[in-house]
A and B are shown apart, each in its own frame.
Chain A
């Protein structure tokens, strides 16, 4: 069972890669754009840290790590999550989801892996640069255990991101037109480039529990610094599991309301 899905995953990934290979110069374009995004995203950081050595307990180098994780996750979002799931919206609107449902494999799996944009891997390269700069400013290197911890948190961050996206897409079964919901989410996600401790009150609660941006960027950054204890590590993992279960339930429920679009 698992082997079959892994094989399917490899096939889907290969198809996307073949398509991407036709547009080779996109690699350079995407690279330049990713670099440009990151540099412009750093400007507010430069301005703030010029006025203050630390903001809400974060030094410039430490805040850079949060930006690095933000860049990584944005790459994952735009390269692996967003392209295939925005296709689902199109499928629902046109009724072509029928063809996906007819296939002898799980529909959620099929739609989630239908398209990847491999060139977005350039975001990862940019992020490595940001991490390098951050640790250079801090004058330290992450320990092995810290790297292991942040790998674990990276996995849970991707899970949370994916689950949120599935829930948003599920809304398409009910309201049909959700391209702007995805836009809304991307704009909220922008807040993840700041350490969550700069926010207070309502926004802090929102970004920790409802849309757990804090667990996606601030926690991995702290793990990288070796600041997280066991409970700090457990929280994102638990939330990721809960979100994944929730999104699966929401998806199945939404799917049961699917009525196709033809006459």
Chain B
């Protein structure tokens, strides 16, 4: 496949994806509301921290942390696994494969073109954070902003690649949605979505550092709320992008193996 035509097709694909996101805005709003779990955790943790801070986290730190979590979750969302499972089972994938464009890329475009709408939702959250917490709600240095951009980008790639990797399992088994459920359960705990990874007991924390989850949400959030020195942030970023590379290889392998088993049903 040539790179040139693909690149030329991208802007149009994004426009189509964006139009779709606008058309189904009510539905998208419900999806966004369904990811407001950080607000519940915010209420919970600030209630606990009201008497005295927990470890390095005071009340304001928790507010900053969980509002940032809400934003990062919006920016790193992907649902390609469910899409892929559905399309493999129904044979709709065939239509996608016919396009002169790598199918994985078309899923990426699908998911990414929802970003502008989701970004719109994040802005008021960020403003609410700025009003209640003040400056510590934003990265205080220039490198902080750069690293944050890299970390969000890496976080999205990990989320997306895992989605595709688990989705391709549907080539081999009846439905991979159960696998995704298990992944999500582990993600909730180890990603820092419900508890900041910093608060884990040290043994558990070492485990979390080795797993991919904390690089999906935790790392971007920690960089955003300036919880790392530059060196630490850099070494964590390196680990994150190592996961990105590993997962990309895995997807490459699974996709090629799986596609051979694909049979489109229906006419």
Instruction: Give chain A's interface residues, CB within 8 Å of chain B.
Output: 29, 33, 36-37, 40-41, 43-44, 46-48, 50-52, 55-56, 175, 177, 180-181, 183-184, 187, 190-191, 194, 198-200, 203
Contacts and interface: CB of A to CB of B under 8 A. Distances in A.
Given A33-B182, A56-B47, A47 B30 contact: no
Nearest to A187: B34
Contacts of B201: 46-47, 50
B48 A55 contact: yes
Contacts of A177: 27
B199 A47 contact: yes
A118 B195 CA distance: 33
Q: Which 6 A-B pairs have the closest CB atoms?
A: A184-B34, A187-B34, A51-B54, A40-B189, A180-B30, A191-B40
10 contacts: A29-B178, A33-B181, A40-B185, A43-B204, A51-B48, A52-B48, A55-B47, A184-B30, A198-B44, A203-B43
Interface residues of B, number: 30
B33 interface: yes
Contact of B34 (A37, A52, A56, A180): A180
Given A44-B189, A47-B195, A51-B55, A180 B43 contact: no
Contacts of B178: 29, 33
B194 interface: yes
A46 B199 CA distance: 11
Nearest to A185: B34
A15 B43 CA distance: 44
Interface of B: 26-27, 30-31, 33-37, 40-41, 43-44, 47-48, 54-55, 178, 181-182, 185-186, 188-189, 194-195, 199-201, 204
A215 to B, nearest CB: 17
B47 A199 contact: yes
Q: Most chain-B CB neighbours within 10 Å: which of A41, A47, A56, A183?
A: A47
Given A180-B31, A198-B44, A198-B48, A40 B37 contact: no
Nearest to B45: A48
Contacts of A48: 48
Nearest to B187: A40
B27 A180 contact: yes
Nearest to A184: B34
A152 B35 CA distance: 33
Nearest to A29: B178
A44 B47 contact: no
B188 to A, nearest CB: 7
A52 B54 CA distance: 9
Given A37-B185, A51-B55, A194 B44 contact: yes
Contacts of A43: 189, 194-195, 204
A175 B26 CA distance: 10
Given A33-B182, A36-B185, A47-B199, A184 B43 contact: no
Nearest to A202: B43
Contacts of B36: 187
B37 A47 contact: no
Nearest to B50: A200
Nearest to A55: B48
Nearest to B199: A47
Contacts of A46: 201
